[in-house]
Structure 1
Amino acid sequence: MTGTHTALIEKINRIQPLNPIMMELLAAIQNQDSQATDLEHIIRSDANTSATILKIANSPFYGMSGRIKNVRDACVLLGFDQLRNIIYATALEHASNGGPHKIWCQKLRRHTLATAIIASELSLHMTVRIEKGQAYSLGLLHELGKQILVSELPDLFHEYMNTQGQPEQESIVGTLIEAGTIIAQKWRLPEVFQTCIRFALVPSDPPEAFQNEVILIRCAHQLAQELGFDSPGDQYTPSEPGALLHYYPTLPADVITETIQDCINSCPDLDRSTEEAQS
């Protein structure tokens, strides 16, 4: 498998999923000196990127439907944290909007969105100690390898799905995780993102500096699946006492679960009737 793995990694290294404008935007949001006006200037320089950001900003999830008329409105009304998350969502839209596996791609988008919402809600509790906007972003991108390769290397993703539950799938899982870290580096994502992508879905101990973030994403990922938002190819079997009590035993699980369920129910992009219609 080593030769095959090496060939796949070489293919992944050759993937250029983002245009220069998106790369410039991603770099700008990591720069602590950047202002909303800096992002506005970059966004307005490319019509396609502007259109995608305006589409996402006006989606029902952000509560601004019809209010975001232009890039300046997006920068002023949304605030830096939400704008940052919209840029991440736009990067995913640019990079994963293709390939033959439409249903799997849609399920994966729903899973990562549910994970992002759950992570951001959990972050409100002092035990978690992670800023809400970052928690959302980490959840949105925690399966970056899958999110890109479902479109860029559809044959590999097909093999991944066909070996579900079999020993052969393990090596592909490793390749997907490695792909995610490679792409995160290409996107110049901060180290905390790269760490969550590498460690959140495997039992290995993460670096101590980012343990809180990895634990949060592990919990949110599993809780999303417990709530019916499966990650394609991931055979997750809920166990007692459940993800929330396992990772955060001191939190009021019933109250938090109810709040999370309300947030998910109020998100039109996670409407189950929409998923059934698309299937």
Structure 2
Amino acid sequence: MVEATTAPPETGSATSGAPAVQAALENIAHIATLPEITVKIIDLVENPESTARDLHQVIENDPALCARILKVVNSAFYGLPGQIGSINRAIVLLGLNAVKNIAIAVSLTKLFSGSQVTPTFSARDLWVHSICVGVGSRLLSGKIGLRLPPDEAFLGGLMHDIGIMVELQADRAKLLAMLDQHQQGKTFLDAEQQVFGADHQQFGQGLCEKWKFPSAFSFVTGYHHQPLALDAESRTLTALVYVADRLAVQGGFGYTGTVADTDIDTQVLDALKLTEHAIEEVREELPEAIEVAEQLTN
């Protein structure tokens, strides 16, 4: 592990790259949208007057989504007792928020679809990496004594690099130029700033704000390379994703080019109260857990 440093953040919030971010989101307005059913689910769950019955009525109108949610809740990934045969039962056992997060997760697969972009980068490899970071975040959340829902940890990791897909959809030529700069030795973040005028953290944060996601997910997408730039009260999920991101890169899971330094800042570990032993346990558990998660999200 690297010793803690006091280096400034690598980038600012989405607002510091606002013109580039706004232009990109406008360019992909037809793509950067969640399925209507997912938007309905988010709006419903955010309404404090909504009930489990309300959520059930929305989901049952989409048989494909219903089937995928049941596939997830019946998997070893959740380890629930017995077979869950209905969405209503899943909602009762997991809660409205968990089912909402599962619905978002299965919706993201469409955004990460695409062919090989260059010999060293593909949307598929980025998706594999994102799954690994999601799984790693979920496993890490179980190692700390904080009440962070595992589905929230998984979703945070799953979407941390979503800003790269914004770049790809907004301007493929610029993404190719950026990847070329990266291949020539620039860090991923520096190459993004040079070519796009913003980096994937800023694009991802902008997309989360467009989707009106909870601030925890905006923080993850916007600060997963420098979680200590956030207030202590706001950084837990982002810090978990930061650690999981480095574990994924160290393990060579999917696309690994975004992280220049794979060492984990000891200040982040201290903030999470994560021990070396816990890190090693997660490292050992990752491969099997990733297999399960990949089956669920494909």
TM-score range, shorter chain: 0.7 to 0.9
User: For residue 180 of structure 2, what is the aligned residue in structure 1?
Assistant: 162
Residue 22 of structure 1, CA deviation: 1.3
Distance 1:33 1:133, change over 3 A: farther
1:139 aligns with 2:157: yes
- Whether the 8 Å CA contact 1:111–1:230 is kept in 2: the answer is yes
Distance 1:209 1:232, change over 3 A: same
User: For residue 8 of structure 2, what is the aligned residue in structure 1?
Assistant: none
User: For residue 263 of structure 1, what is the aligned residue in structure 2?
Assistant: 285
User: For residue 218 of structure 1, what is the aligned residue in structure 2?
Assistant: 242
Matches within 5 A, 1:187-266: 187-202=211-226, 205-207=229-231, 209-229=233-253, 231-239=255-263, 243=264, 245-249=266-270, 251=273, 253-266=275-288
Distance 1:5 1:24, change over 3 A: closer
TM-score for both structures, normalised by structure 2: 0.71
Q: Distance in 1 between matches of 2:293 and 2:57?
A: 35
Distance 1:72 1:5, change over 3 A: closer
Q: Distance in 2 between matches of 1:263 and 1:129?
A: 21
Matches within 5 A, 1:1-279: 7-13=23-29, 15-58=31-74, 61-63=77-79, 67-80=83-96, 82-96=98-112, 98-101=113-116, 104-126=122-144, 130-147=148-165, 149-150=167-168, 154-164=172-182, 165-166=185-186, 167-171=190-194, 172=196, 174-202=198-226, 205-207=229-231, 209-229=233-253, 231-239=255-263, 243=264, 245-249=266-270, 251=273, 253-267=275-289, 269=291
Residue 205 of structure 1, CA deviation: 1.9
- Whether the 8 Å CA contact 1:56–1:90 is kept in 2: the answer is no
The alignment covers a number of residue pairs equal to 269
TM-score for both structures, normalised by structure 1: 0.75
Counterpart of 1:143, as a letter, is D
Q: Distance in 1 between matches of 2:213 and 2:89?
A: 26
Q: Distance in 2 between matches of 1:4 and 1:31?
A: 33
Q: Distance in 1 between matches of 2:85 and 2:169?
A: 31
Name whichever of 73-82 and 139-148 sits farther off: 73-82
Name whichever of 71-80 and 32-41 sits farther off: 71-80
- Whether the 8 Å CA contact 2:131–2:157 is kept in 1: the answer is yes
Distance 1:99 1:268, change over 3 A: closer
Residue 41 of structure 1, CA deviation: 1.1
Q: What stretches of structure 1 of length at least 5 have no aligned partner?
A: 275-279
- Whether the 8 Å CA contact 2:163–2:200 is kept in 1: the answer is yes
Higher relative contact order, chain-length normalized (CA < 8 Å, sep 6+): 2
Counterpart of 1:85, as a letter, is N
- Whether the 8 Å CA contact 1:26–1:187 is kept in 2: the answer is no
* Structure with greater proportional helix content: 1
- Whether the 8 Å CA contact 1:116–1:135 is kept in 2: the answer is yes
- Whether the 8 Å CA contact 2:77–2:292 is kept in 1: the answer is no
Counterpart of 2:283, as a letter, is Q
Distance 1:221 1:173, change over 3 A: farther
